[in-house]
Amino acid sequence: GENVEQHPSTLSVQEGDSAVIKCTYSDSASNYFPWYKQELGKGPQLIIDIRSNVGEKKDQRIAVTLNKTAKHFSLHITETQPEDSAVYFCAARGTGGYQKVTFGTGTKLQVIP
Amino acid sequence: EAQVTQNPRYLITVTGKKLTVTCSQNMNHEYMSWYRQDPGLGLRQIYYSMNVEVTDKGDVPEGYKVSRKEKRNFPLILESPSPNQTSLYFCASHGQAGGRQYFGPGTRLTVT
């Protein structure tokens, strides 16, 4: 089955700096890559996603890049703010009847004011 | 408001005492899933359902049961809870194969 690795597990940045979280996946048939943000005491919420026919997608301060050949994708947050502090999960969805989503192990991002 | 609700939010119980965690969604979604979240392990799927009366095992189904008698509800049942089932549980739903998943607020379960 699919295996998703996520790095780093923790990340501290100064407010205003950029943060990058990287993920790799194993199943070359995976075609959808969502990113979730989980704030303390809440469930994960989708913040951005990318499909395999696109190399990059941007939404204000958040961007995701995908390298299908290398089977890795990354989340970039620019001009970080304290409210960006949270746990971030990457995920990969394969093909097939159910299209199961496999999650990475999470990155705890701390933005220091 | 589109949402997934779970109850209870917190539960402390003892080994062997049967419990049910309820999950309900108001978006008429076909697909629903249960996940457990443990430190360093991310979110692991327990069971999923593709529609009423259609359920299947995820990655870590041992010790759990589910049912899908109505489209909106997907309860998680622990017939004989054990301490290794102490975890944070999330229910999620999505409306079509490959659609965006919506997560509930989580249920923190402690089994002593």
Q: Quick: pLDDT tens for A39-92.
A: 999 999 999 999 888 899 999 999 999 999 999 999 999 999 999 999 999 999
Contact assignment for B42 to A45 by CB distance below 8 Å? no
CB pairs under 8 A between A and B: 50
- The model's confidence at residue A23, banded by pLDDT at 50, 70 and 90, is very high
Number of H helices, E strands in chain A: 0, 11
Q: Round to whole Å and give the CA distance between A18 and A11.
A: 11
With an 8 Å Cβ cutoff, the interface of chain B facing chain A consists of 4, 31, 35, 40-45, 48, 50, 56, 58-59, 90, 92, 97-98, 100-101, 103-106
Using DSSP's 3-state secondary structure scheme, residue A84 falls into: helix
Q: Round to whole Å and give the CA distance between B51 and B98.
A: 14
Q: Round to whole Å and give the CA distance between B32 and B51.
A: 8
Please check the confidence at residue A35 and state whether its pLDDT lies above 70: yes
Q: Which of A103, A107, A108 to mutate to test the interface with B (most CBs of B within 10 A)?
A: A103
B27-58 confidence digits (pLDDT tens) = 999 999 999 999 989 999 999 999 999 999 99
* A96 part of contact set with chain B, CB < 8 Å: no
Contact assignment for A34 to B101 by CB distance below 8 Å? yes
Contact assignment for B42 to A104 by CB distance below 8 Å? yes
Q: Round to whole Å and give the CA distance between A104 and A24.
A: 9
What is the enclosing helix (H) or strand (E) of A78? none
Give the pLDDT of residue A69: 93
- The model's confidence at residue A95, banded by pLDDT at 50, 70 and 90, is low
Contacts of B58 in chain A (CB under 8 A): 100
Strands B19-25 and A86-93: unpaired
